[in-house]
Structure 1
Amino acid sequence: MGRAYVVGTFDTKGAELRYVAGLAAAVGVQVGTVDLSTSGDPADHPDDVDVSATEVAAAHPRGAGAVFTGDRGSAVAAMAEAFEHWLTARDDVAGVLGLGGSGGTALITPAMRALPVGVPKLMVSTVAAGDVSGYVDASDIAMFPSVTDVAGLNRISRRVLGNAAHALAGAVRDPVPPADDLPAVALSMFGVTTPCVTATARGLGAGFDPLVFHSTGTGGRAMEKLVDDGLIATVLDITTTEVCDLIAGGVMSAGEQRLDAIARTGVPYVGSCGALDMVNFGAFDTVPEQYRERHLYRHNPQVTLMRTTADECRRIGEFLAAKLNACSGPVRFLLPEGGLSVLDASGQPFHDPAADEVLFETLENEVRQHADRQVLRLPHNINDTEFVDALLREFHAVREAGSPAAAVGQPAGRQTGGRE
């Protein structure tokens, strides 16, 4: 079953951490306690924990001296790095539960994010009721609002901490049975490419396990985290629209690292230009002033779309080409000449063949093509049946050309920890 780790700064939250560890152990879960205190004062480091702060700090690339600096800010940042190295090096992690305020949450969650998706991760935090995207990002951390401060045991904190302890114990003691051995296929989707992605997922048939990700920034990062975790056999990156938001300053960028996991792992990859005709903003009055005179489309009261220009399409193409050129695995990138989305079809508000052509020509000119890296034009809209057929045909081609692991349906790359 592995071990459930209860982690935090025992110099300030020892009573709460011991309470949680005791509850989890009382229901038969093997528990390990980990001290993340950063003071460096031996008097502040209890001797009744399983893993001392000194042991964790020693996992820092520059040693424990990089952690115990005497400066709280640098010490917390360095301990976070040390804890990530320490935790990810273990093969017995069945789950992790952390307690903390804003500092403790920032200290603990980077290591949680580095664990594979599926390993239970619970964070009881004073900041859990606000915007937690900076702590959770693309991982599956469950944030528990502490309600009262994590500053002693009382009638409220005992209930909240107890619920968290029992949630961790239940997840560790009764794990979800493993999925079947079908190879997992990642697909990226947006509302304006839904017909294509839905038909493609259906067309994969019963021999694959399709995982669809919404291309909202977090979705792209989540997809690539699973690629890095070795949980994805093949990627059908139909909707690369997050790159538009990176280039033009929209609200759904997945960051500069988009497609880097594809390059790192060599996973077989089929991509396309899904929704590269649009940049995403919130409600109409949130569109930046410099874009107010651009071609805007009110998708709904909370989402405003902006048509990409020819210059933006050129820069998008250059970004994608550089990423595709870094890929060592088999790559196909399909260009839908009939439009990049529902809105880019003939007669629709974003139909702009000239801008699309700049994108296509940039990709064709910049991608270094060979037998295993090809850019292919098709005279169809991305949502047409014929385009779906082409995606499925190239999907099978890259799988056949891919690594031996992918060819037999098992993803390559980093595997999950001891829990699995």
Structure 2
Amino acid sequence: MVAVKTILVAGTYDTKDDELHYLAEIIHGQGGRVLSMDVSVLGDPSRPTDVSKHQVAEAGGSSIEAAIGAGAENTAMQIMGSGAAAKALELYRAGSIHGVVVLGGTMGTDLALDLCAALPLGVPKYVVSTVAFSPLLPPERIPADVQMILWSGGLYGLNSICKAALSQAAGAVLGAARAVEAPRRERPLIGMTSFGKTVLRYMVTLKPALEARGFEVAVFHATGMGGRAFESLSREGAFAAVMDFAPQEVSNHMFGGLSAGADRLTNAGQAGTPQLVAPGCYDLVDFVGWQAVPPQIEGRPTHAHNRLLSSAVLEPGERRAVAKILCGKLSQAQAPVAFVLPNQGCNEWDRPGGELHDAEGLAAFCDEIRSLCPDTVALHELDCHINDGAFCDRVLEIFDGWMASGLVRATA
């Protein structure tokens, strides 16, 4: 028997009453349960919801009266967004909900992003939105595992077109809640960042080696959203240790590329998680391949990975700036940090004769790391390339030392 799952259905019941009740009917018809949350401000639902708008506002430390008195819909919905996020997390922690679906236009979607961001990775999160996949949505606000469905033809009232989207969302969130395999954490988890094997290869060696030592390894694709997921879990203290060998998203954030947010390379340290760090692809800035090259990196040597993604090379002075930022972030860590510096190159294209190799830039970066590396960070400079076996050998040597000292344990 499949356990009955409860889905949180949230939205502005004063303006989307019919649509939200339709979502609930589909979920009920598929054998699920619904817990309804009203996030409206001015009007009232046709019948009481499980979580009222007053309870939502209070969960955010405010009140409906304050939201109305703000005199601005933007301020009012931020009050409700804060409360909806807090209440959803409370319900999830209490075991009252197993997934969430939020419905909205721009106002509802703004709130939905806050609500979904409050829930841990792995909790099914669906947003049915009139602006799904729109450039209105800044990447830094999109939860790393949220699913979005375009609410076509649904701005006002039910019709056969929007019912297709709503019914799919209802089935999707309930199916996800039934099928999801929640992280078991039977073995301590190591978080690693990387890119595909054509550019960085260490995970091919390190993952099985770490698993043989009793750890589970999750490798995150450091192209913006992957880094956000990595940082989210780091913030929760989910990792026994991290191997952040592709912090390129720091460079991206500095120079207008595919950012994972300003907090990249900070959360593991703040959570007291030991960090092994290396500068994989530090010298590249990723940008959207089908758009014009951003003005700040125009004219540089570039590499097109595919039609979606291209990378431009940083100049020597910019690489020094990256080194300074990396060292500054690592200096704030509340746990041991080892920085492994392969001085012969930090991605496969950065080798002598490689299409993106810049010996002067690499030397400038290494020089700045040597000069600025904090006393609290153990610097391991290697006379090799990051894709050489010697890199993995040193990483495992450092990690084994951490295990021998009890800093990292193979049992939870």
* TM-score tier (shorter): 0.7 to 0.9
Task: Specify the alignment match of 1:263 in structure 2.
Answer: 269
Tell me: CA distance 1:157–1:301, structure 2 relative to 1, closer, same or farther (3 Å): closer
Cα offset, 1:187, TM superposition: 1.5
Cα offset, 1:72, TM superposition: 1.5
Q: Per-residue CA shift, 1:369-389, capped at 9, x if unaligned?
A: 24xx31110111000001111
CA RMSD for the aligned pairs? 2.6
Contact 2:17 2:45 in 1 (8 A): no
Cα offset, 1:178, TM superposition: 4.8
Task: Specify the alignment match of 2:285 in structure 1.
Answer: 279
Q: Per-residue CA shift, 1:378-404, capped at 9, x if unaligned?
A: 11100000111112222333455576x
What secondary structure is seen at the aligned counterpart in 2 of 1:204? helix
Contact 2:351 2:357 in 1 (8 A): yes
What secondary structure is seen at the aligned counterpart in 1 of 2:15? helix
Q: How many equivalent residue pairs?
A: 402
Of the three residues 184, 193, 199, the one matched with 2:205 is 199
Task: Specify the alignment match of 1:334 in structure 2.
Answer: 340
Task: Specify the alignment match of 1:78 in structure 2.
Answer: 79
Aligned: 1:213 with 2:220: yes
Greater Cα offset, 382-391 or 27-36: 27-36
Contact 1:330 1:402 in 2 (8 A): no
Aligned: 1:14 with 2:17: yes
Contact 2:206 2:392 in 1 (8 A): yes
Q: Aligned ranges for residues 350-365 of structure 1 at < 5 Å?
A: 350-365=356-371
Cα offset, 1:79, TM superposition: 1.3
Q: Which letter maps to 2:332?
A: A
Cα offset, 1:242, TM superposition: 1.6
Q: Distance in 1 between matches of 2:172 and 2:283?
A: 44
What residue ranges of structure 2 are gaps of 5+ in the alignment? none
Q: Per-residue CA shift, 1:168-202, capped at 9, x if unaligned?
A: 22333444365461222222112454322322223
Q: Distance in 2 between matches of 1:177 and 1:221?
A: 19
Cα offset, 1:336, TM superposition: 0.3
What secondary structure is seen at the aligned counterpart in 2 of 1:407? coil
Contact 2:116 2:143 in 1 (8 A): no
Aligned: 1:94 with 2:101: no
Q: Distance in 2 between matches of 1:393 and 1:378?
A: 13
Contact 1:343 1:349 in 2 (8 A): yes
Q: Distance in 2 between matches of 1:253 and 1:169?
A: 32
Q: Percent identity?
A: 31
Tell me: CA distance 1:282–1:32, structure 2 relative to 1, closer, same or farther (3 Å): closer
Tell me: CA distance 1:28–1:303, structure 2 relative to 1, closer, same or farther (3 Å): closer
Task: Specify the alignment match of 1:182 in structure 2.
Answer: 187
What secondary structure is seen at the aligned counterpart in 2 of 1:194? coil
Aligned: 1:52 with 2:52: yes
What residue ranges of structure 1 are gaps of 5+ in the alignment? 411-420
Tell me: CA distance 1:117–1:400, structure 2 relative to 1, closer, same or farther (3 Å): farther
What secondary structure is seen at the aligned counterpart in 2 of 1:212? strand
Aligned: 1:128 with 2:128: no
Cα offset, 1:304, TM superposition: 4.1
What secondary structure is seen at the aligned counterpart in 1 of 2:259? coil
Greater Cα offset, 138-147 or 148-157: 148-157
Q: Distance in 2 between matches of 1:294 and 1:243?
A: 19
Q: Per-residue CA shift, 1:72-129, capped at 9, x if unaligned?
A: 1221122112211222233233111111112111112211022111111111111225
Relative to the length of structure 2, the TM-score reads: 0.88
Cα offset, 1:408, TM superposition: 4.5
Tell me: CA distance 1:51–1:402, structure 2 relative to 1, closer, same or farther (3 Å): farther
Of the three residues 316, 325, 329, the one matched with 2:322 is 316
Cα offset, 1:54, TM superposition: 0.8
Contact 2:304 2:310 in 1 (8 A): yes
Tell me: CA distance 1:26–1:349, structure 2 relative to 1, closer, same or farther (3 Å): closer
What secondary structure is seen at the aligned counterpart in 1 of 2:203? helix
Higher RCO (CA 8 Å, separation ≥ 6 residues):
1
Q: Distance in 1 between matches of 2:138 and 2:290?
A: 25
Task: Specify the alignment match of 2:254 in structure 1.
Answer: 247
Q: Which letter maps to 2:162?
A: S
Tell me: CA distance 1:57–1:300, structure 2 relative to 1, closer, same or farther (3 Å): closer
Tell me: CA distance 1:328–1:51, structure 2 relative to 1, closer, same or farther (3 Å): same
Task: Specify the alignment match of 1:407 in structure 2.
Answer: 409
Contact 1:105 1:125 in 2 (8 A): yes
Greater Cα offset, 312-321 or 163-172: 163-172
Q: Distance in 1 between matches of 2:223 and 2:99?
A: 28
Task: Specify the alignment match of 1:418 in structure 2.
Answer: none
